[in-house]
Chains A and B, each alone.
Chain A
Amino acid sequence: MSSIDSRPERDRPWMFRTYSGHSSAKASNALYRSNLAKGQTGLSVAFDLPTQTGYDSDHPLSRGEVGKVGVPICHIDDMQVLFDEIPLEKMNTSMTINATAAWLLSLYIATAERQGTDQGALRGTTQNDIIKEYLSRGTFVFPPEASMRLTSEIVSYTVDHVPNWNPMNVCSYHLQEAGATPVQEIAFSMANAISILDVVRAMPEVDDETLSRVFGRISFFLNAGIRFVEEMCKCRAMNLLWEEIGRERYGITNEKMLRLRYGVQVNSLGLTEAQPENNIIRIALEALGVTLSKKARTRSLQLPAWNEALGLPRPWDQQLSLRTQQILAYETDLLEYGDLFDGSHVVEAKTNALLDEARGELQTILDMGGAVTAVENAYMKQKLVESQTDRLRAIEAGELTVVGVNEYVEAVDSPLVEEGAGAILKVDESAEREQIQSLEAFRNRRNTADAEAALKNLEDVIKNGGNIMAPSIAAAKAGVTTGEWSQVLRDVFGEYRAPTGVVAAPVAEASEDVSQVRKRVDELSTTLGRRLKILVGKPGLDGHSNGAEQIAVKARDVGMEVVYDGIRLTPQEIVQSAQDEGVHVIGLSILSGSHGVLVTDVVEQLKNEGMGTIPVVVGGIIPDDDADKLVAAGVRRVYTPKDFDLTRIMDEIVDVVAESNAD
Chain B
Amino acid sequence: MPTEPASTAALEAARKLAGRVCAGERSAISQALNAVDDNRASSREARLALLDAVSPQARGVRIGVTGAPGAGKSTLLDALVSGLRDRGRSVGVLAVDPSSQRTGGALLGDRMRLSASARDAGVFLRSLAARDQLGGLSEVTGPSLDIMAAALDYVFVETVGVGQSEAQVIDVVDTLVFVAQPAAGDLIQFMKAGILEWPDLFFVNKSDLGDVATRAAAELRAGLDLGHRRDPDRVPPVLSGSARDGLGIDELIEALDEHTGYLKTSGIGEARRRQGRIARIEHALEVRYGRFGLATLGSETEVRAAIAAEPGASVDRVVDVLSSRIEAALCEHDEEKGRRGA
Contact = CB atoms under 8 A, between A and B. Distances in A.
B337 interface: no
B129 A531 contact: yes
Given A531-B129, A580-B125, A582-B33, A503 B107 contact: yes
Given A579-B27, A581-B125, A610-B27, A565 B113 contact: yes
Interface of B: 26-27, 29-31, 33-34, 37-40, 43, 70, 97, 99-100, 102-113, 115-116, 119, 124-127, 129, 131, 244
A560 B110 contact: no
Contacts of B106: 556, 561-562
B34 A582 contact: yes
Contacts of A556: 100, 103, 105-107
Given A507-B100, A529-B39, A576-B119, A553 B107 contact: yes
B183 to A, nearest CB: 12
Nearest to B101: A507
Given A497-B115, A503-B97, A559-B104, A377 B70 contact: yes
23 contacts: A377-B70, A495-B115, A495-B116, A502-B110, A503-B111, A507-B100, A507-B103, A510-B102, A518-B104, A521-B105, A525-B104, A529-B43, A531-B129, A556-B100, A556-B103, A558-B105, A561-B129, A562-B107, A564-B108, A564-B109, A582-B31, A582-B34, A609-B27
Interface in A580-594: 580-582
Contacts of A505: 107
A367 to B, nearest CB: 15
Interface in A477-525: 494-495, 497, 499-500, 502-503, 505, 507, 510, 518, 521-522, 525
A497 B109 CA distance: 13
Nearest to B100: A507
A12 interface: no
A566 interface: yes
Nearest to A518: B103
A530 interface: yes
A113 B112 CA distance: 47
A386 to B, nearest CB: 14
Contact of A499 (B29, B38, B110, B127): B110
Centre residue among A521, A525, A529, A564 by max chain B CB count within 10 A: A529
B103 A564 contact: no
A555 B27 contact: no
B107 A507 contact: no
A564 B111 CA distance: 10
Given A565-B113, A582-B33, A529 B38 contact: yes
Given A529-B39, A562-B107, 18 more contacts: A377-B70, A510-B103, A529-B37, A530-B37, A530-B38, A531-B104, A555-B105, A556-B107, A559-B105, A561-B99, A564-B110, A565-B113, A579-B27, A580-B26, A580-B30, A581-B30, A582-B37, A582-B126
A32 to B, nearest CB: 36
A557 interface: yes
Contacts of B124: 580
CB-CB nearest 3 A-B residue pairs: A529-B38, A556-B105, A529-B40
Nearest to A507: B100
Contacts of A529: 37-40, 43
Nearest to B47: A529
A522 B113 contact: no
B27 A522 contact: no
Contacts of B29: 580
A573 interface: yes
Nearest to A145: B244
A503 B100 CA distance: 11
A319 interface: no
Contacts of B31: 582
A384 interface: no
Contacts of A563: 108-109, 127
A562 B103 CA distance: 13
Contacts of B103: 507, 510, 518, 556-559
Nearest to A578: B30
A71 interface: no
Contact of A573 (B34, B39, B119): B119
Contacts of B109: 563-565, 581
A467 interface: no
B116 A562 contact: no
A564 B107 contact: yes
Centre residue among B97, B100, B109, B244 by max chain A CB count within 10 A: B109
Given A495-B115, A565-B113, A610-B27, A577 B125 contact: yes
A507 B104 CA distance: 11
Contacts of A609: 27
Given A499-B110, A564-B107, A566-B113, A530 B39 contact: yes
Contacts of B26: 579-580
A290 interface: no
Nearest to B78: A497
A522 B34 contact: no
B205 to A, nearest CB: 13
Centre residue among B110, B125, B127, B131 by max chain A CB count within 10 A: B110
Contacts of B126: 580-582
B289 to A, nearest CB: 22
A334 interface: no
A229 B105 CA distance: 40
Nearest to B69: A377
A158 B115 CA distance: 33
A522 B30 contact: no
A609 B26 CA distance: 11
A385 B70 CA distance: 19
Nearest to A499: B110
Interface string A537-567: 0000000000000001101111111111110
A530 B99 CA distance: 14
Contacts of B108: 561-564, 581
Nearest to A522: B104
Contacts of B115: 494-495, 497
Nearest to A143: B244
Centre residue among B37, B43, B107, B112 by max chain A CB count within 10 A: B107
Contacts of A502: 107, 110
Nearest to B36: A530
Interface in A248-288: none
Contacts of A566: 110, 113
A558 B111 CA distance: 22
Contacts of A560: 105
B45 to A, nearest CB: 13
B113 A499 contact: yes
A28 B126 CA distance: 45
A503 B129 CA distance: 12
Contacts of A510: 102-103
B30 A530 contact: no
Centre residue among B105, B109, B126 by max chain A CB count within 10 A: B105
